Chain A
Amino acid sequence: MADGFAEGASRRDLLKTGALAGGLVLSFNLAGKAGAAAPAADAKLNAYVSLTPDNKVTIVSKNPEIGQGIKTSLPMIIAEEFDVDWAQVTTKQADGDPATYGRQFAGGSMATPLHWDELRRVGAAGRAMVVAAAAQTWNVPAAECTTASGVVHHKASGRKATYGSLAAKAATLPAPDLKSVPLKDPKDYKILGKFMPQVDSAALVSGKPLFGIDVVVPGMLYATFDKAPVFGAKVASADLAAAKAVKGVRQAFVVEGGTDLSGLVPGVAVVADSWWQARKGREKLNTQWAEHPTSKQSSAGYDAQALALSKAAPLRTERHDGDVAAALKGAAKTVEAAYSYPFIAHAALEPMNCTAAFKDGKLEIWAPTQNPEAGRQLVAKTLGIAPADITLHMTRCGGGFGRRLANDYMVQAAWIAREAKAPVKMLWTREDDLRYDYYRPAGYHFLSGGVDASGTVTAWHDHFVSLGNDGKFASSAGMSQTEFPSRFVPNYRYDLSLIPTGVPTGPLRAPGSNALSFVIQSFIDELAHAAGADPVTFRLKLLGGGGMMGTPGQNGYAADRMSGVVKLAAEKAGWGKTKLPKGTGMGIAFHFSHMGYFAEVVQATVAADGAVKVDKVWVAADVGRQIVNPAGGINQVQGSVLDGLSAALGQVITIENGAAVQSNFGDYPLLRMADAPPVEVHFLITDNPPTGLGEPALPPAPPALCNAIFAATGKRIRSLPINTEALKSV
C-alpha cells in the first residue's frame, strides 16, 4: 500500500542514516551495524547507495521529479564517482525525508549547483568503502587498488572482486571524510556528460502508473473540491443534499477554510466512488459564495491604476546611481516607452491532485509536489497533527513550472480525507487549475533611456509599477536592485510603485526574469535602433569588456560570460550574414538568471494578416564546465525556449470581478506542434561551477521574438501577449 500504485508495490525503504551537517550527509550509520537483520541481499553503504551481491546498485534520488530529469541526473553524479556502469544502476525515488536528505525541492534551478559537489563526494565515499573492504580482504594497501565498472582490481596480485561481493563487508566499515575523499579527473568521466535517457523512460512510454493522479490505495474514494471564483471567498450556501443524491456520491461537505490563499481555502468537497461521480455531484451543488473585497479588482482596473501611478511620484526609489535626469537631458537620443505583461498560469498538464489516508491520528500522503516539507508543515499546522505523524511519498509530477511549490491541493486532500474517514484521491479539473493558480504576476514598466553620440547607454530610468500590499511585493512580483542593466549604465534609476492585489501570485519558471527580460531586452533593442546601431554590437558595448560585476552567485554578473554567449548565438545564427526575405527578421536577447548566461536569436516571419511564425531559434548557453546529462539538459533548454514563446504568443489570464476569466486550453492556448520551431542549442563550456538548466533558457526567448518582429515589420511589441492584429500590414 505504501507505494501507492496498483502495480509494483514495494516496501517502504527505511533508512537508518540521518545526521546532517550544513546540508551535507555525513552520517553513514549502517543498516547492518545496528545488529538488525539487514537482509544479506541488500547492503547499504550510505543514505543514497545500496548494493546486492549480484552487483546491482540502487541509488536514491532525493528530489521531486517534475520533468527536469533530476531522478536521472542526481544519481548519475553519484554513480560516476562510485565508479560503476550506468547499466548496473537502478534509481529510487526518496520519500519526503529531510532528516536524511536535507532540503528536498524542485525550484530555482538549484539542484545541480547545490548537489554537484556533495553527491560526487557521496559516490566517492561509497567507492572508498568498497576499496577498503577489498584491501582488507586481500591484505593489500588500498592505494594499490583501482576500480572500474563496479569491480575492484589489485593489479600486482591480479586479484579482482565485484563491488557486490564486497558490499556486506564494506557496509561495516567507517565512512571516509567526505571533504577529503578523492574525486575523478573529469576527463575520466564515463557517465557524466553522456546522453542518458531518463530512468523512467520505459515506464513512461508504456503508460505505467508513475504520477500522482495514478495513485491507487485500497478502499480509496475520489473527491472534487469546489472553490470560489473570487479568490478566497467563503461558502455562503451549497445544496449538499442534491450532490449526495447523485449515484456513487458518498459525502458532500463544506470546508470552511481560512483566509491564507496559500493554505486551506474555503470550498465544498464531494466524495464519491469514482471521480466522474464526484464531478457529477459537484455540478449539483449550486454553491453560492460570500461577497469578498477582491471582487472589486480586475486586470483593467490594474491597468488604469498603473497608468495613474506612472504619472505620480513613486512609492519609493529602489536604486539611483548617477543623475538620470541630467543624463537624459544631455543624451544625443532619448526613448520613452511603456511596457506591460499579464498574469499567466502554470497550466501543468497533470491537474493538481493529491491522495491522502488518515488513520489513528496519522496521515499518509502521496503527492506530486515540488516542495514536500513545506507541504508537510502546512498540513500539520492546518490539521493540528505533528509533522512526525505525516508520511509523505513523492510521486512523479506531470509538470511543475513552480505551481507545485505551493501545497494548497495537498492540504485540501488531507483535510477531505480526514473528514471523509477514508483514503481519498482529490483531483481538480482543468478549469479549477487555471482559475486557482499562483499566477505569474502582471507588471508595468515606464521607461526612459538615453544614448550618447557614440551609441553608449548613458541613462536608464524605470518606474516599475508592480503588485503588492503594505509596501511589499506580491510573491514573485519583485525586481532586484541588481537587475540588468543596473551597474552597467552610469545613470540608472529604479523607482517603484505598488498596486494592492488580492490575486494569488507565485513563482513561475524563471520567476521575475520571465517577464523582466521581455521588458529590458526589448527596451535595449529600442535604444540600439535609436542609436542607429546593430543590436548585437550595441549589446556587446553595453556589456563592456569587464568580468564579474558584484559577488558570484545569484546577483553576481560576469559580463565576459554574457558577451561570450551573445557572440556565440550571433555566430551560430549567421547574424548580419543572412539575407532574409521581406517580412522576416532576426532578433537577439540575453538574460542572466539562476546563475546561467543565455543569449538567443529568434528568426520570425510576420504574414500580411499579422500571423507570427517562428522559423528557428539559436541558443547559446554558459552554465559552467560540465553538462551533467545532455539528454535532459538540451531538452530543458528547448522546452524552456518554447515555453517562453508559447506565453508570448498567446497566454493571458484576465481578472474580472476578482476572478480569472480563462478556463481551459480553448481560451488559454499552449504552443502546439505546428507552431514549434527547431531550437538549436550550443553550450559554451567555461571553467565555472556547473549550474542548473530548468529555467534560465526561458527569459531571453520572448524578447528575442519581439525584437525579431520589430526587425521584420518595424513594429515594436510593448505588451504581452503579442497582439497580431496590430501587426497586420493589409
Chain B
Amino acid sequence: MAFKINVNGKSQSVDVEEGTPLLWALRDGLGILGPKFGCGVGQCGACTVHIDGQPVRSCALPIEAVGAAKVVTIEGIGATAIGKKVQAAWTELDVAQCGYCQPGQIMSATALLNATPKPADADIDAAMSGNICRCATYVRIRAAIKQASGQKVEA
C-alpha cells in the first residue's frame, strides 16, 4: 500500500507493505541509498536517520509509525548549518576508512550537536555508542565532533 512520508523536506509516496522498515522503504522504495543496512535490529546505527530531529534506527521503525513526522537522511543533513559543519569536519580529518557506517555516525553526531553544542567526552560517548564503526575510526570521530563544535581537537 502507499504511504506518504516527508523525506528531506519533500513529501513522497512509497508503495510498500505495512511492517516494512523505514530503511527499506527509503532504500528500495525511494532509491535513497545513504542510510545503510548493518544489522537489521537497531544495534549498529548504520541506518540512522532523523525523525523530527531525533536520531532513530530506521531498520527497526515500521513505515506506518512514521506518519507526518519529518524524516531527514544523510542526503539532506548538509542543508542544515550544523550538519554541514559535521560533514566538513569529517572530510577535513579524513574520518572514514571504509565509510559504510559514516552516514549513521554523522546523523548521530549532528543530533548530538543540535542538543549539546559543546559536547564533553562523556556526552560523545553517550550519544555515539549506538553507532558501530567496524573499522574503529573512533579516535577521529571524536576529534571531528570536537572540531565541528569549535572545541580543541587532540590529534
Residues 661-688 of A, flagged 1 when their CB comes within 8 A of B and 0 if not, give 0001110001111101011000000000
Q: Are A276 and B20 in contact (CB under 8 A)?
A: yes
Given B98, B132, B142, which contacts A672 in the complex, CB threshold below 8 Å? B132
Q: A68-B97, A197-B94, A635-B94 in contact; A350/B140 too (CB < 8 A)?
A: no
Q: Are B135 and A665 in contact (CB under 8 A)?
A: no
Q: A349-B38, A349-B46, A639-B137 in contact; A222/B99 too (CB < 8 A)?
A: no
State whether the Cβ of B73 lies closer than 8 Å to any Cβ in chain A: yes
Residues 12-48 of B, flagged 1 when their CB comes within 8 A of A and 0 if not, give 0000110011001001110101111111110110100
Q: Which residues between 64 and 95 of chain A lie within 8 Å of chain B, taking CB atoms?
A: 66-69
Q: Are A67 and B36 in contact (CB under 8 A)?
A: no
State whether the Cβ of A331 lies closer than 8 Å to any Cβ in chain B: no
Given A206, A214, A635, A666, which contacts B74 in the complex, CB threshold below 8 Å? A206
In angstroms, Cα B124 to Cα A67, docked, is 24
Q: Are B139 and A676 in contact (CB under 8 A)?
A: yes
Residues 94-114 of B, flagged 1 when their CB comes within 8 A of A and 0 if not, give 101111111100100000000
Q: Are A274 and B16 in contact (CB under 8 A)?
A: yes
Given A66, A205, A276, A429, which contacts B91 in the complex, CB threshold below 8 Å? A205
Of listed B28, B94, B99, B125, residue having the most chain A CB within 10 A:
B99
Across the interface, which residues of B come within 8 angstroms of A664, CB to CB? 39-41, 43
Residues 602-637 of A, flagged 1 when their CB comes within 8 A of B and 0 if not, give 000000000000000000000000000001100110
Across the interface, which residues of A come within 8 angstroms of B132, CB to CB? 349, 665, 670, 672
B113 shortest CB reach to chain A, Å: 15
State whether the Cβ of B2 lies closer than 8 Å to any Cβ in chain A: no
Q: Are A6 and B44 in contact (CB under 8 A)?
A: no
Q: A631-B94, A664-B41 in contact; A638/B100 too (CB < 8 A)?
A: no
Q: Are A666 and B135 in contact (CB under 8 A)?
A: no
Nearest opposing residue in chain A for B39, CB measure: A430
Q: Are B78 and A206 in contact (CB under 8 A)?
A: yes
State whether the Cβ of A195 lies closer than 8 Å to any Cβ in chain B: yes
Q: Are A679 and B139 in contact (CB under 8 A)?
A: yes
Q: Are B20 and A207 in contact (CB under 8 A)?
A: no
Across the interface, which residues of B come within 8 angstroms of A69, CB to CB? 97
State whether the Cβ of A392 lies closer than 8 Å to any Cβ in chain B: no
State whether the Cβ of A140 lies closer than 8 Å to any Cβ in chain B: no
Across the interface, which residues of B come within 8 angstroms of A205, CB to CB? 74, 87, 90-91, 96, 102-103, 106
Across the interface, which residues of B come within 8 angstroms of A348, CB to CB? 98, 134
Across the interface, which residues of B come within 8 angstroms of A208, CB to CB? 34
Across the interface, which residues of A come within 8 angstroms of B147, CB to CB? none
Q: Are A671 and B44 in contact (CB under 8 A)?
A: no
Residues 111-149 of B, flagged 1 when their CB comes within 8 A of A and 0 if not, give 000000000000011101111111111111110000000
State whether the Cβ of A128 lies closer than 8 Å to any Cβ in chain B: no
Q: Are A673 and B29 in contact (CB under 8 A)?
A: no
Across the interface, which residues of B come within 8 angstroms of A673, CB to CB? 124-125, 128-129, 131, 138, 141-142
In angstroms, Cα B131 to Cα A670, docked, is 10
Q: Which residues between 63 and 106 of chain B lie within 8 Å of chain A, taking CB atoms?
A: 73-75, 78, 87, 90-94, 96-103, 106
B1 shortest CB reach to chain A, Å: 10
In angstroms, Cα B36 to Cα A210, docked, is 11
Residues 573-607 of A, flagged 1 when their CB comes within 8 A of B and 0 if not, give 00000000000000000000000000000000000
Residues 397-424 of A, flagged 1 when their CB comes within 8 A of B and 0 if not, give 1111100000000000000000000000
State whether the Cβ of A209 lies closer than 8 Å to any Cβ in chain B: yes
Across the interface, which residues of B come within 8 angstroms of A638, CB to CB? 136-137, 139-140
Given contacts A207-B103, A399-B134, 10 further A-B contacts (CB under 8 A): A207-B74, A248-B17, A280-B17, A349-B134, A635-B140, A642-B138, A665-B132, A673-B128, A673-B142, A678-B154
Residues of A within 8 A of B (CB): 6, 66-69, 195-198, 200-202, 204-211, 213-214, 216, 222, 247-248, 274-277, 280, 347-351, 396-401, 427, 429-430, 631-632, 635-636, 638-639, 642-643, 646, 664-666, 670-674, 676, 678-679
Residues of B within 8 A of A (CB): 16-17, 20-21, 24, 27-29, 31, 33-41, 43-44, 46, 73-75, 78, 87, 90-94, 96-103, 106, 124-126, 128-142, 154
The 9 closest A-B pairs by CB, nearest first: A207-B34, A67-B98, A398-B100, A207-B74, A642-B136, A676-B138, A67-B97, A674-B125, A204-B99
Return 24 A-B CB contacts under 8 Å, by A number: A67-B96, A67-B100, A196-B94, A197-B92, A197-B93, A200-B96, A204-B102, A204-B103, A205-B87, A206-B75, A207-B74, A280-B17, A348-B134, A349-B44, A349-B133, A349-B134, A350-B36, A397-B98, A638-B140, A665-B44, A672-B129, A673-B124, A673-B128, A674-B126
